Amino acid sequence: MYAGAGRAGSGPVEGTRPVLYDAVLLDRDGTLIEDVPYNGDPEKVRPVPGARAALDRLRAAGLRLAVVTNQSGLARGYFSEEQMRAVHARIEELLGRFDAWLVCPHDDADGCDCRKPAPGLVHAAARQLGTSASRCVLVGDIGRDVAAAMAAGAAGVLVPTPVTRPEEIAAAGWLAGDLPAAVDEILRRQQAVHPASGPAGQRVGTALVVRSDSAGDVLVTGPAIRAVAAGAQRVVLLCGPRGRAAADLLPGVDEIIEHPLPWIDPAPESVDADAMRTLTTRLAAVGADEAVVFTSFHQSALPLALLLRMAGIRRIAAISDDYPGSLLDVRHRVPAGVPEPERALSLAAAAGHRLPVDDEPVLRLRQDALPYRPADLGAPGYVVLHPGSAASSRACPPELAARIAGSLTAAGHRVLVTGGPDERAVTARVAAAGGTDLGGRTDLPGLAAIVADAGAVVVGNTGPAHLAAAAGVPVVSLFAPTVPFGQWGPYRVPTVRLGDAGAPCRDTRAASCPVPGHPCLSGVDPAEVVEALRVLVGSGGGGR
């Protein structure tokens, strides 16, 4: 690839480092300027409306800018490198300087690792800007742009144009109406995780943090809990029974209270007055100076806020669109579509907490809580295939999982099939088609240890996807669109999303598939999984 002369500035000033992003990467044709196919003529450069002002807002916010562009016209001889440089000079004349230019000159047939949707340009841009892909957000107008960003572990914003295909729009986790709107939302998200009250204030004594619901819910709240822990001497976490094993893995948590919350659990017990009194007494005994109640968008923090008030807690923060009266001291609101870890981080920020500058907004696990991986699994680099999910609507159909196992094995990958004790029939059937059956052999820490040594994980929208994110292990996400991908997709880890994002189950939050045949996932071709692994871990395969 061609890399422009390095004009990357010095690194971020320690102590002022933004929490989320260092750089914004921009596609060229159809994103920054109107798309004129194979243009070698500077006179034909036309910026999209509002581009200059939007880019200047990013520059003013201290974000570095790079252009990442496929220019197969070079390979095909439609224009010369000199003509391309003239076009780029004209773009800078109209839109201001960029800190780096990254160009893929190849054609699809070249099989390079830089032509989007491959992640090569994104990695190269991050390197040249002195940061990592996970601290970059890419703005583009077609699915290839977003796919390249995700495969590198960067965020991707899709700004559709009339040529953007409907399935690309459906699959995008982050959509904006135009370039200025994309820029505004990038800056808003960046700002939302910074406490309004300036740099970390006085440390509180004891903070009570709350995250009920499942293991995945607890895992994605980890960065926010670390932010609270950075500003507190002691952190007590209230979680539910289904999230307990994940809570035990979170850094920053000093003590855990496990108690079901009937207004949160999907299959709740009836409300027992004595149990609520017992819980209130336990919460009072924590002696918390403040409480931060984390929830998903469809859950209410208010019933617990009332119990916390009755437990004598003076300062309570939560997200609530419902009017909280005097139940909350910090009532925070978040627009739809924000990734769950950032949504929670923004609540921590509203309560006055931010991640320390030496931490990153990524999922993490306590390494001392993980067991040694069984030696009989062989060397690291295998592929973990996890077909199940507590919600069947988000599970991979067993028949498809079996075909995926067969295709991966045939492609030279070592496959480990994982699942809980109640999923043994499925894991046995899948592993029979290719791979080692680990069904029922792992608890959550054991699974986390196995995932941590994987080359990649193939999984639906369920807990192990977040274990992979926490270990920095790439994910092939068989994502049923029952909830938004932008909120629940694997966070800040290289990912390829597969499945029909526009299927009728979209946004239904259904626990069991409402559509006969589970069409959102049953149409996945195992060859797509093999190709996704090639993109994520290289053609050698993680498992050879």
Cα(325)–Cα(276) distance, integer angstroms: 21
The torsion angles phi and psi of 494, rounded to 5 degrees, stand at -55, 130
The SS3 assignment for 33 reads strand
Q: Does the active-site annotation cover 29?
A: yes
Tell me the C-alpha distance between 511 and 267, whole Å: 11
Burial of 32 (0-12, 13-18, 19+ CB in 10 A): buried
Minimal distance, residue 114 CB to Zn ion, in Å: 3
Tokens found for residue 138: 């890419």
343 binds Zn ion per the rule CB under 5 A: no
Q: By C-beta, is 116 or 189 nearer to Zn ion? A: 116
In the bound state with Zn ion, the residue whose beta carbon lies nearer, of 150 and 520, is 150
Q: How far apart are CA 24 and CA 96, in angstroms?
A: 14
Catalytic residue among 27, 99, 141, 213: 27
Please, which residues have CB within 8 angstroms of residue 5's CB and are 6 or more apart in sequence?
none
**Which H/E stretch holds residue 25?**
strand 23-26
Choice between 111 and 371, CB closer to Zn ion: 111
- From residue 177 to residue 196, the character string flagging contacts with Zn ion as x (rule: CB under 5 A) and all else as - is --------------------
Query: Measured from the CB atom, is 120 or 160 closer to Zn ion?
Result: 120
**DSSP secondary structure letter of residue 315:** -
Residue whose CB is less far from Zn ion, 71 or 461: 71
Name the pairing type of β-strands 100-104 and 2-3: antiparallel
Distance separating alpha carbons of residues 476 and 404, to the nearest angstrom: 12
Residue 122 binds to Zn ion (criterion: CB under 5 A): no
Listed residue (449, 360, 330, 321) closest to 135, CA to CA: 360
**Cis ω on the peptide bond leading into residue 117 (within 30° of 0)?**
yes
Among 64, 88, 115, 332, binds Zn ion (CB under 5 A): 115
- For residue 94, the minimal CB distance to Zn ion (Å) is 26
CB of 118 to Zn ion, least distance (A): 7
| Paired tokens of 218 | 């607890």
Q: With binding defined as CB under 5 A, does residue 125 bind Zn ion?
A: no
Q: Which stretch binds Zn ion (CB under 5 A): 98-106, 302-310, 333-341, 354-362?
A: 98-106
SS3 label, residue 77: coil
- 122 vs 286, which CB is nearer to Zn ion? 122
CA 73 to chain centre: 33
Is residue 422 part of the annotated active site? The answer reads no
| Among 23, 103, 114, 150, contact with Zn ion (rule: CB under 5 A) | 114
* Candidate list 91, 100, 104, 480; residue touching Zn ion; CB under 5 A: 104
Rg value, the chain, Cα? 24
Give the CA angle between residues 352, 216, 311 to the nearest 5°. Answer: 50
Residue 115 or 353: the one with the smaller Cβ distance to Zn ion is: 115
For residue 333, give the DSSP letter: -
Q: Does 112 bind Zn ion (CB under 5 A)?
A: yes
Q: Applying CB under 5 A, does 106 fall inside the site for Zn ion?
A: yes
- Count of all residues that appear for the chain in the document: 544
Which residues of this chain interact with Zn ion, rule CB under 5 A? Answer: 104, 106, 112, 114-115
The residues annotated with a catalytic role in the active site are 27, 29
